[in-house]
Amino acid sequence: MMGLAMEPRHISILMEMDRAWLDQVYAKERAKASGQKTLPPMSKQPLSAALLDVMLK
């Protein structure tokens, strides 16, 4: 963060957010391993400049 001083409570919050995200990702991976149907991680529609323009408007 470019040398930005952060308080310990901010670091704790960031670490908890990271842990929550990792828990969610690992839960999805475990669901795949157990044979449950899951959505594909990527869209079959490639990202184009026109699609990005529509999304950002």
SS (HEC) of the chain: CCCCCCCHHHHHHHHHHHHHHHHHHHHHHHHHHCCCCCCCCCCCCCCCHHHHHHHHC
Rounded to two decimals, what is the model's pTM?
Answer: 0.46
pLDDT of residue 20: 92
Give the per-residue pLDDT at 50: 82
In angstroms, rounded to a whole number, what is the distance separating the alpha carbons of residues 28 and 10? 28
Average pLDDT per block of 10 residues along the chain, 57 residues long:
75 90 85 69 74 78
